[in-house]
Amino acid sequence: MSSALKIWHPFTNGALDPSPVLVRRAEGVYLHTADGRKIVDAISSWWVNLHGHANPRIAAAIAEQGKKLEHVIMAGFSHEAAEELAERLRRWVPRDLSYMFFSDDGSTAVEVALKVAVQYFQNLDRAEKTEIVALAHGYHGDTAGAMSVSDESPFTQPFESMRYAVHRVNSAYCYRCPVGLKRESCHIECVQQLERLLEERSEHIAAVIVEPLLQGAGGMIVHPVEFLQKVRSLCTEHDVLLIADEVLTGFGRTGKMFACDLANVSPDLMCVSKGITGGFMTMGVTLCTDRVESAFRSENRLHTFYHGHSYTGNALACAAANANLQIFEDEPVFDRIAAIARIHGERLAVLRTMHRVGEVRQVGTMGALELVTEDAGYLSALRPKLYGFFLDHGVLLRPLGNVVYVLPPYVIEPDELHRVYDVIDEAIETLL
């Protein structure tokens, strides 16, 4: 008898990191481990879970769908669960978006958006518009194109040769303002770099990609809404497509269904994934305007978007997404979100006064604190110590270097969220 294969885990160094924890089952915000522990999933399992683990409504919808149709090729075919999802999403997404293109996850949703943006201008006989602009501290996924638009980091370092060139411009990282100003008195001068770039080169630029209002993996950086609004108006002025990567921010994370709603901005392309299925199934969707799609509807076959993944539009994932959106319609999801936001606000206000806390940041259900340390950044030595401390105290939190953030499923109860913050307080007192 041969022994089993060993699982190579993501973002995990087999020599340095602790062995993975075996989870036997999960319910609500809790992971139940094989060794009898009960761990609060305070990061929604990489930001995907919305209504709790093993949510019975989503689980039932997947089971029902599986008895009818598990999957069908989406080229030349469609199915009822996908059509239903198209109708349901229409009710929630920014007004100008009228087409949706399926893919598999956040990274592929981003790849689709970038490729659509470039081919859009080709199809319009403006083949010189190929360049992409992306933000400092941005993160858009781990595939080669998504890595190219992501900012340099330990994640991208070995792959410089595989990343295509993009224009990198300032983000609105107010704590470390790129133009040396203070938010209280600034006029979003950080956006002027993008403004100058578009003035000089817009005839070569196809798209600007942003994580709207909240840059996640780059350090949970919260932008003023005015930044996104200015980026939108600059893109419109210079005939450049705006891609909003809502892979993290979508489905209520920022307090509204989409971060773009908070800024009252409608992008030309929008990427969603993570929360779309409530955390049950993998799915990516890239939405676009009628104007964008119409450039691909043509007598010329070469204007076709020749892109598609085998599991595109998977019926089980569509059923999960439909059940997820039904929960938004039937249950007080936005009250739960508001309750989380209130507790974040209360607890972060106290944390802000601790001298090792440089800044606290919050938008909707995301609460973060940036700790003061000499080795700030993803590889900060603090990170593994904090991670281990949290886990030892029954809480799953994965600090981004010296940035600790809490991004729980929406069903977390107030006392459970307070407990997460109590453990953070204790960690700061013990480890810093």
Ligand X SMILES: Cc1ncc(COP(=O)(O)O)c(C=O)c1O
Phi, psi (deg, nearest 5) at residue 76: 85, -5
Nearer CB in complex with ligand X: 220/412 = 220
Among residue numbers 347 through 376, which ones bind ligand X (CB under 6 A)? none
State in angstroms the smallest separation of the CB of 159 from ligand X: 15
Among residue numbers 94 through 123, which ones bind ligand X (CB under 6 A)? 105-107, 110
Distance CA 204, CA 25 (A): 51
Candidate residues 28, 52, 94, 141; the one interacting with ligand X per rule CB under 6 A: 141
Q: Which stretch binds ligand X (CB under 6 A): 81-89, 241-249, 366-374, 376-384?
A: 241-249
3-state secondary structure the chain: CCCCCCCCCCCCCCCCCCCCCCEEEEEECEEEECCCCEEEECCHHHHCCCCCECCHHHHHHHHHHHHHCCCCCCCCCCCHHHHHHHHHHHCCCCCCEEEEEEECCHHHHHHHHHHHHHHHHHHCCCCCCCEEEEECCCCCCCCHHHHHHCCCCCCCHHHHHHCCCCEEECCCCHHHCCCCCCCCCCCCHHHHHHHHHHHHHHHHEEEEEECCCEECCCCCEECCHHHHHHHHHHHHHCCCEEEEECCCCCCCCCCCCCHHHHCCCCCCEEEECHHHHCCCCCCEEEEEEHHHHHCCCCCCHHHCCCCCCCCCCCHHHHHHHHHHHHHHHHCCHHHHHHHHHHHHHHHHHHHCCCCCEEEEEEECCEEEEEECCCCCCCCCCHHHHHHHHHHHCCEECCCECCEEEECCCCCCCHHHHHHHHHHHHHHHHHHC
Nearer CB in complex with ligand X: 296/378 = 378
Query: Distances in Å between the alpha carbon of 348 and those of 261, 357, 371?
Result: 24, 10, 12
Nearer CB in complex with ligand X: 131/245 = 245
Nearer CB in complex with ligand X: 106/219 = 106
Distance CA 325, CA 95 (A): 18
Candidate residues 41, 111, 131, 211; the one interacting with ligand X per rule CB under 6 A: 211
State in angstroms the smallest separation of the CB of 124 from ligand X: 27
x/- string (CB under 6 A) for ligand X, residues 243-262?
Answer: --x-xx--------------
Q: Which stretch binds ligand X (CB under 6 A): 60-68, 70-78, 242-250, 371-379?
A: 242-250
State in angstroms the smallest separation of the CB of 410 from ligand X: 18
State in angstroms the smallest separation of the CB of 116 from ligand X: 16
- Contact between 140 and ligand X by CB under 6 A: the answer reads yes
Residue that is written with structure tokens 């108006």 in the block:
233
- Contact between 139 and ligand X by CB under 6 A: the answer reads yes
Nearer CB in complex with ligand X: 123/171 = 171
State in angstroms the smallest separation of the CB of 171 from ligand X: 13
Beta carbons within 8 Å of 281's beta carbon, 6+ residues apart: 62, 314, 316, 317, 320, 321
State in angstroms the smallest separation of the CB of 142 from ligand X: 6
State in angstroms the smallest separation of the CB of 106 from ligand X: 2
- Contact between 242 and ligand X by CB under 6 A: the answer reads no
Candidate residues 52, 216, 250, 408; the one interacting with ligand X per rule CB under 6 A: 216
Nearer CB in complex with ligand X: 48/319 = 48
Nearer CB in complex with ligand X: 82/247 = 247
Nearer CB in complex with ligand X: 111/131 = 111
Q: Which stretch binds ligand X (CB under 6 A): 20-28, 57-65, 211-219, 231-239?
A: 211-219
Nearer CB in complex with ligand X: 52/218 = 218
Taking CB atoms, the residue at the shortest distance from ligand X is 106
Nearer CB in complex with ligand X: 238/307 = 307
Compute how many other C-beta atoms are within 10 angstroms of the C-beta atom of residue 198.
22
- Contact between 266 and ligand X by CB under 6 A: the answer reads no
x/- string (CB under 6 A) for ligand X, residues 56-95?
Answer: ----------------------------------------
Q: Give residues in contact with ligand X (CB under 6 A).
A: 105-107, 110, 139-141, 211, 216-217, 245, 247-248, 273
